[in-house]
């Protein structure tokens, strides 16, 4: 009897403590390894825009417009950063209540409730905010390539601001913020719809609304500094590891596989574009091989966390070939002046990658597999639904924004200013004093 009493007391205490133990186990705790990786990834993705994309685009335009492109990328980085903290993050990633399928709420506007110890999963929410901010920065910056050398700076700032709030934020919420596409089961690991199709479609609309540059297509408009462009492209390749592998939000096996397939996609896209160009025009170009790399990276992006090396190889080859022919068809047959080929590289690449994710995510093809009860056919249809939704929303809202801004401040510089160059006309500076 005397031995029984301590045992009963111990069992009673254990039962009383169990809820507290379960509660403690359920409480998220900071993972320092994951935090370190996400801090690194955030830096890498920001590095993609400035200096990566800025140098890539600046090298591809003519010498008289080099500063204008650098200025646009830099100004977008600053503006989006402020707007993201003020309102956009909350609209993208919080619960929007009854309208949550379409848009988040304002509960975290001005970073309300986010402090040093606030966690998102097992990383600080401040780090998650920063990581997602870098995606929001590069997406409107990509669109700059479509209207390079002819849009007013004021119009560009207004378009980028409202496009972020009315186009990027809703689609981001649909796909990553527990919106209707995420609930439907769309697979978009790092931004095939949210970033690449979204920016590509807006770029095509902008190119069509603004019209061709003066002299296009009859006047040759070669890149003024290919060395600068290649330098920027190399920075994009390195930064893209943060873009894709960072989207695992952890330093784990998924991030490792994502990094590997991202690299395979880039390499396969580069070589495929190079060989297509070599066969068609007789010589491989430096511009071609780096553009193929960007196409490969953009195309593997939505699939990167879901496919294996085999899928990455096929997706990269598809990107290099299809984006090469799409670029040439738009430029040479349709005479659409998407100045730096944003739509045929990012838009078309994003559509290829988003669709093929529904194929190569299959476990039989080396991918992670589909959700229970979902086969390849159903997954591909879900992927196509996301593509169509992005095309319609981004295309329609971008068109309306451009038309409204044209009435407000005018979209395009005057013909004589376009001839003189935007560096001098808009910024009273020159990139080169030779």
CA 121/CA 93 separation, integer angstroms: 13
- Helices then strands, each counted (H, E), the chain: 19, 2
The pair of three-digit structure tokens given for residue 88, joined into one six-digit string: 């956009």
Beta strands 123-124 and 119-120 are antiparallel
334-360 tens-digit pLDDT = 999 999 999 999 999 999 999 999 999
Percent of the chain with pLDDT over 90: 92
Backbone angles phi, psi at 402, to 5 degrees: -65, -40
CA 136/CA 201 separation, integer angstroms: 16
What ranges in 282-365 are assigned the alpha helix state H?
286-300, 309-328, 342, 348-360
**Residue with tokens 């591809």, as numbered in its chain:** 60
CA 415/CA 267 separation, integer angstroms: 41
CA 326/CA 185 separation, integer angstroms: 29
| Composition of the chain by helix, strand, coil, percent to 5 | 75, 0, 25
Taking alpha carbons only, the member of 404, 374, 391, 317 closest to residue 186 is 374
How far from 375 is each of 210, 361, 362, CA to CA, in Å? 43, 10, 8
**Contacts of 283 by beta carbon, 8 Å cutoff, 6+ apart:** 277
The pLDDT score that the predictor gives to residue 20 is 46
Domains in the chain (CATH in brackets) are 31-427 (1.10.3430.10)
The model carries a pTM of 0.92
**Contacts of 321 by beta carbon, 8 Å cutoff, 6+ apart:** 272, 273, 276
243-275 tens-digit pLDDT = 999 999 999 999 999 999 999 999 999 999 999
Three-class secondary structure of residue 330 per DSSP: helix
Taking alpha carbons only, the member of 151, 177, 173, 180 closest to residue 401 is 151
The pLDDT score that the predictor gives to residue 1 is 46
**Contacts of 411 by beta carbon, 8 Å cutoff, 6+ apart:** 151, 152, 155, 209, 210, 402, 405
**Contacts of 272 by beta carbon, 8 Å cutoff, 6+ apart:** 292, 296, 316, 317, 319, 320, 321, 324
> With the C-alpha atoms ordered 245, 229, 221, 413, is the resulting torsion angle positive or negative?
positive
| E strand or H helix that includes residue 248 | none
8-24 tens-digit pLDDT = 655 555 544 555 444 44
Contact 145, 57 (CB under 8 A): yes
- Residue 64 is given by DSSP the state G
Taken as a whole, the chain contains a residue count of 434
For residue 236, count CB atoms less than 10 angstroms from its CB and return exposed for 0-12, middle for 13-18, buried for 19 or more. Answer: buried
The pLDDT profile of the chain, 434 residues, written as one tens digit per residue, is: 454 555 665 555 554 455 544 444 567 899 999 999 999 999 999 999 999 999 999 999 999 999 999 999 999 999 999 999 999 999 999 999 999 999 999 999 999 999 999 999 999 999 999 999 999 999 999 999 999 999 999 999 999 999 999 999 999 999 999 999 999 999 999 999 999 999 999 999 999 999 999 999 989 999 999 999 999 999 999 999 999 999 999 999 999 999 999 999 999 999 999 999 999 999 999 999 999 999 999 999 999 999 999 999 999 999 999 999 999 999 989 999 999 999 999 999 999 999 999 999 999 999 999 998 899 999 999 999 999 999 999 999 999 999 999 999 999 999 999 999 999 999 999 999 87
CB-side neighbour CA atoms (13 Å) of 84: 24
- Residue 412 is given by DSSP the state B
Contact 305, 261 (CB under 8 A): no
- Residue 101 is given by DSSP the state T
């Amino acid at each position: 009897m005397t031995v029984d009493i301590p045992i009963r007391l111990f069992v009673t205490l254990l039962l009383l403590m169990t809820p507290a133990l379960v509660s403690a186990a359920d409480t998220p705790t900071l993972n320092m390894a994951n935090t370190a990786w996400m801090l690194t990834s955030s830096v890498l993705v920001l590095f993609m825009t400035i200096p990566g994309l800025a140098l890539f685009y600046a090298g591809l335009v003519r010498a008289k417009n080099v500063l204008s492109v650098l200025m646009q990328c830099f100004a977008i980085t600053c503006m989006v950063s402020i707007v993201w903290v003020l309102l956009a993050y909350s609209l993208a990633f919080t619960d929007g209540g009854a309208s949550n399928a379409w848009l988040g709420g304002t509960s975290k506007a001005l970073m309300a409730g986010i402090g040093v110890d606030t966690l998102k999963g097992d990383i600080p929410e401040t780090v998650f905010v920063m990581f997602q901010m870098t995606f929001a920065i590069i997406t409107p910056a990509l669109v700059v390539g479509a209207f390079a050398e002819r849009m007013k700076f004021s119009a560009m700032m207004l378009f980028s601001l409202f496009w972020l709030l009315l186009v990027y934020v809703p689609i981001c919420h649909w796909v990553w913020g527990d919106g209707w596409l995420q609930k439907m089961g769309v697979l978009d690991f790092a931004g095939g719809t949210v970033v690449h199709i979204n920016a590509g479609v807006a770029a095509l609309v902008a190119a069509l609304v603004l019209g061709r540059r003066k002299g296009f297509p009859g006047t040759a408009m070669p890149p003024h500094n290919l060395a600068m462009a290649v330098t920027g492209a190399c920075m994009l390749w390195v930064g893209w590891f943060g873009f894709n592998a960072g989207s695992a939000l952890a330093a784990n096996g998924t991030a490792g596989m994502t990094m590997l397939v991202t690299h395979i996609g880039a390499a396969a896209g580069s070589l495929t574009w190079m060989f297509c160009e070599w066969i068609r025009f007789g010589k491989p170009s430096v511009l071609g091989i780096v553009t193929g790399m960007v196409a490969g990276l953009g195309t593997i992006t939505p699939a990167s966390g879901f496919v294996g090396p085999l899928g990455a190889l096929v997706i990269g080859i598809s990107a290099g070939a299809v984006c090469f022919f799409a670029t040439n068809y738009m430029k040479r047959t349709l005479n659409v002046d998407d100045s730096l080929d944003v739509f045929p590289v990012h838009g078309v690449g994003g559509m290829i990658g988003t669709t093929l994710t529904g194929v190569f995510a299959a476990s039989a093809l080396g991918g992670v597999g589909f959700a229970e009860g979902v086969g390849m056919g159903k997954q591909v249809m879900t992927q196509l639904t996301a593509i169509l939704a992005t095309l319609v929303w981004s295309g329609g809202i971008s068109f309306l924004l451009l038309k409204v801004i044209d009435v407000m401040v005018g979209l395009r510089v005057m013909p004589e200013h376009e001839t003189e160059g935007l560096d001098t006309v808009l910024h009273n500076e020159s990139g080169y004093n030779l």
